[in-house]
Structure 1
């Protein structure tokens, strides 16, 4: 975490269950959907040049990829804020995920998926919400990557590397070139809500299934650097940063409740239990969870990575059971960002119903 010029790093637990190797705070880590913020910055850079219009239909750029009514009515903005009415491709891409998650993950470990195929699967699947309503879908950001490729003539990963990662001065952030993480890292264990027992290491994995929606690797220090520079106006001009921070409700609240999470363009704002609102994103891939949040001016920040995923358990009614890990993560992040003493945030409630769990980027549904 950071507060102005002050910085603190810490780690707990083990990086390898077999050897007992301890976790370190400078390890490289798969950051999942935090990749979306980088992809959105790249698209907004092209908006600033006039090559992309936020409210232009995606069919104007990619008519063969997104044909018909969707191509005419889904805009670039709708892709970036998940109001496109396009479904996620995860279940079609991993068809055994619900019945046998372990087998699905094992079979997909070295399987390469082209972004065009991921889009096709997403377009063919049933959406969770109609166009105009928020419904998180990785498909949106795979399309955004292909849009970048169309207007820049470069692979989107190369464009993001040269114009976002390097522009931000990040030294340990990259799209992996193989199934392996290049630098020192922890093993990453997937439990899939207890259906994979004991939890299995998936730190070696072909990330083509995530692409410009979630394939990147980074460190917690790099993520704090990135969000501080982004929120401080160093990566986008003021007009595009305003667009990025223009949000929609991320869920439908119960009667009389406040919406505690709103999604912009690859960036969300979240109200913590102690009352403050913060900006950032979370990410989750098989075995690795990440959460990076900042005050609006980027002065106070916290980023946390963990190497056990889908530790939650569900009751017979399909509802999540009380979970001390999620409570602890939320309390820890709240304390880090707000400076509130630990005794005042200890035992806070989990994220309000309808929100994703911290660090749990929805790569797959609960059973």
Structure 2
């Protein structure tokens, strides 16, 4: 962790569990101006890790017979997804990103269209949207009116936050309460998480770090975006949590305590999905599968919000867990073609992940390429 800090991350903190033993640590600062240190118990915007919570909530409703995984979304939300699209796209396709519906984020943040490679990308939209209250239907419409990324149910999915906005509206439709309220009562509280929740406003309650966004060198020095209204992601990426809570959640999920074993098996049926950084990942229903040679198969998710990155992975046998948080995002500067360049932070994080997942003895066996990059 000291190596990650030395490479350029202001602050990094983590919790690793191994067969009942727990290690927590931190390195660096939560505020570069005051030098206030980070600590392992700090709260973090965990970005798309929220998707696992939302997927678990949907699967609970599948267990109760209120949602059918392979039913068309148009059966439930005909006004939001009308016509042929509503008939072809199923709930499962939304969960595993094979719907063909593109991500709305480039359209909600117009100065980021084509990011990071477009020459005229700018941070203007980040500031314009800091206190903007988006409506879910508005974001969904942006995704549905953009050019499709493929046919529904195609062999390779494309990661899209629009899918999880729709799942949030599906949960609201079948439960009669907001997705955030349902997830809080039936996923967060069921898992016994004490420091996890959807923020009530733009500020994080409790001890937390500032969150520094670099936007591939466009914001230099990186700017704090810890105060931000998260209506732009909602049930797709708005949660605040701690590393202890994330390990507890994934441990209970993979042990069949949040959804039943049949639902968990469905969540672990993966397809290839093209992630936001262009890499292809094995993606189930709100879960990443990460095979680490010499260490085993891990399940979990990564997440990014403006200025924050989080990774949480649990080995299939539940005995080894890693949750890591950093307070700088998109640190890679771009070359003349707009391509993000390799940075020493990338190598330092890979070393940390290998050690956290595999232990000292097996660290060299793990391949850095197998670990997903942070993404919203």
What's the TM-score, normalizing by structure 1?
0.91
5+ unaligned residues in a row in structure 1: which ranges? 253-258
Q: Any idea what SS the aligned residue of 2:321 has?
A: strand
Higher relative contact order (CA 8 A, sep 6+): 2
Provide, for residues 29-56 of structure 1, a one-character-per-residue CA deviation record: whole Å limited to 9, x for no partner.
0000000000000000000011000000
In the alignment, is residue 117 of structure 1 matched against residue 131 of structure 2? no
- Alignment match, 1:107: 128
1:240 corresponds to which of 246, 263, 268: 263
2:283 corresponds to which of 240, 254, 263: 263
Q: Any idea what SS the aligned residue of 2:79 has?
A: coil
- Alignment match, 1:211: 234
Q: Any idea what SS the aligned residue of 1:10 has?
A: strand
Contact conserved, 1:15 with 1:23, CA < 8 A, in 2?
A: yes
Aligned length: 350
Distance 1:221 1:343, change over 3 A: closer
Q: Any idea what SS the aligned residue of 2:311 has?
A: strand
Distance 1:161 1:128 in 2: 32
In the alignment, is residue 153 of structure 1 matched against residue 176 of structure 2? yes
Distance 2:85 2:248 in 1: 37
Distance 1:67 1:298 in 2: 42
By how many angstroms is 1:228 displaced? 0.2
By percentage of residues, which structure has more strand? 2
Contact conserved, 2:216 with 2:332, CA < 8 A, in 1?
A: yes
Contact conserved, 1:274 with 1:340, CA < 8 A, in 2?
A: no
Q: Any idea what SS the aligned residue of 2:172 has?
A: helix
Distance 2:122 2:367 in 1: 29
Distance 2:148 2:332 in 1: 25
1:171 corresponds to which of 172, 190, 194: 194
Q: Which residues of 2 match residues 307-326 of structure 1 at below 5 A?
A: 307-326=327-346
In the alignment, is residue 225 of structure 1 matched against residue 248 of structure 2? yes
Distance 1:261 1:165 in 2: 26
- Alignment match, 1:287: 307
Distance 2:41 2:206 in 1: 10
In the alignment, is residue 92 of structure 1 matched against residue 107 of structure 2? yes
In the alignment, is residue 138 of structure 1 matched against residue 161 of structure 2? yes
Distance 1:16 1:208 in 2: 25
Contact conserved, 1:134 with 1:251, CA < 8 A, in 2?
A: yes
5+ unaligned residues in a row in structure 2: which ranges? 1-15, 114-119
Distance 1:306 1:30 in 2: 10
- Alignment match, 2:79: 64
Distance 2:223 2:81 in 1: 37
In the alignment, is residue 79 of structure 1 matched against residue 99 of structure 2? no
By how many angstroms is 1:9 displaced? 0.4
Q: Any idea what SS the aligned residue of 1:101 has?
A: coil
Q: Any idea what SS the aligned residue of 1:289 has?
A: strand
Contact conserved, 2:298 with 2:316, CA < 8 A, in 1?
A: yes
Two-structure CA RMSD over aligned residues (Å): 1.9
What's the TM-score, normalizing by structure 2?
0.89
- Alignment match, 2:70: 55
